[in-house]
């Protein structure tokens, strides 16, 4: 069995990178909106590792079966698990997220009702050869040779070195549920856990940890979720809040989050108080603490210091993500700019 590494990661950038400024060139590919997965097939057993600590093997039996039948030789593949539906086909995040279920009977049923696909975009090992030290151009050529002819549900992602075509993909593929473009330096080796790739998305998003909630001013339901990110010091830091829920959703969240409420030895809910500002001097800033176990994706516009400048918007829960993987390193850091130049 291959040792499954931590996946190589991507850093957000504002637009398609300038090829002239990238020694060795870039390879562009669509950014799939699914669960990052590394598939290990040693000729006997298929194991599907995830970006976080939760293995995905048991949740996708149809992919375990397909990889064992279809992959022509033992290999270690990096890629994305996605679910598509509709006419025309469109990536379905909710259907994919529902696949993470504790009941084996439910997993089996969903594997038939909403079968998944695996989109391969990197090859880390082939047979007895470890390819991680090879440049991406070599790994990509080997990947094409290995899985280029493999049928559904295993697919090979497309690539291009044409920046203009990548920009067109960015604009057009959103209609199919994809959420951007990834750029990979052709000359670089695989770098587990490092943000050496670049991602260009339609909007800034971040995966954050739910750390608490405030009761709505009406006294009914969750008014706002407090979220955090892990810093270089290994500590979880509050970075802002998520609001704008409907009345019904606020009440639902109280029930959903109840199992995560942090409690003392007597079983009483632990509370805290967030930092006050001149805007919150008369506002109740107390909140109910949550155990940092649940990850959500949010949309944001910009950072100010180490906090989101404005209230962020809830996008979706991320059951595939390990809370510890939610760090400041994923955020796009906007370069400093002199205000005088703006006013000039």
Catalytic positions are: 31
Q: What is the DSSP letter of 341?
A: H
Reduced to 3 states, what is the DSSP secondary structure of residue 69?
A: helix
Whose structure tokens read 């006419």? 87
Q: Can you give the C-alpha Rg of the chain in angstroms?
A: 22
Looking only at the bridges linking them, the beta strands covering 154-156 and 117-126 are: parallel
Short-list 123, 78, 110, 300, CA closest to 205: 300
Reduced to 3 states, what is the DSSP secondary structure of residue 271?
A: strand
Structural tokens at position 69: 């039948």
Reduced to 3 states, what is the DSSP secondary structure of residue 343?
A: helix
Altogether, the residues listed in the chain come to a count of 344
Q: What is the DSSP letter of 53?
A: S
> What is the maximal distance between C-alpha atoms in the chain?
67
Please give the backbone phi and psi of residue 276, each rounded to the nearest 5 degrees, phi first. -90, 150
Backbone region of residue 25 per phi and psi (left: phi > 0; alpha: psi in -120 to 50; beta: other values): left
Rounded to whole angstroms, the Cα distance separating 181 from 328 reads 21
């Amino acid at each position: 069995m291959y040792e499954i590494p931590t996946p190589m990661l991507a850093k957000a950038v504002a637009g398609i990178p300038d090829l002239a400024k990238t020694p060795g060139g870039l390879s562009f590919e669509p950014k799939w909106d699914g669960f990052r997965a590394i598939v290990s097939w040693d000729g006997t057993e298929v194991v599907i590792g995830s970006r976080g600590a939760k293995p995905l093997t048991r949740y996708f039996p149809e992919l375990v079966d397909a990889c064992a039948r279809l992959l022509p030789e033992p290999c270690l593949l990096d890629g994305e698990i996605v679910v598509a539906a509709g006419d025309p086909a469109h990536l379905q995040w909710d259907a994919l997220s529902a696949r993470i279920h504790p009941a084996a009977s439910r997993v089996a049923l969903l594997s038939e009702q909403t079968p998944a696909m695996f989109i391969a975009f990197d090859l880390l090992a082939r047979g007895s050869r470890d390819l991680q030290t090879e440049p991406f151009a070599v790994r990509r050529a080997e990947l094409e040779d290995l899985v280029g002819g493999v049928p559904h549900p295993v697919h090979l992602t497309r690539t291009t070195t044409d920046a203009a075509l990548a920009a067109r993909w960015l604009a057009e593929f959103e209609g199919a549920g994809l959420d951007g473009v990834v750029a990979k330096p052709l000359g670089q080796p695989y770098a587990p856990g490092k943000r050496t790739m670049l991602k260009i998305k339609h909007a800034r998003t971040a995966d954050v940890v739910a750390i608490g909630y405030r009761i709505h001013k009406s006294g009914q339901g969750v008014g706002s979720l407090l979220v955090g990110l892990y810093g270089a010091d290994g500590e979880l830091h509050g970075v802002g809040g998520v609001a704008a829920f409907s009345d019904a959703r606020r009440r639902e969240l109280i029930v959903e989050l109840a199992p995560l409420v942090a409690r003392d030895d007597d079983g009483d809910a632990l509370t805290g108080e967030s930092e006050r500002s001149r805007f919150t001097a008369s506002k109740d800033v107390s909140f109910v603490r949550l155990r940092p176990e649940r990850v959500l994706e949010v949309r944001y516009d910009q950072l100010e210091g180490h906090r989101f400048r404005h209230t962020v918007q809830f996008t979706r829960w991320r059951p595939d993500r390990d809370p510890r993987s939610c760090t400041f390193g994923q955020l796009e850091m906007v370069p400093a700019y002199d205000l005088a130049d703006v006013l000039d």
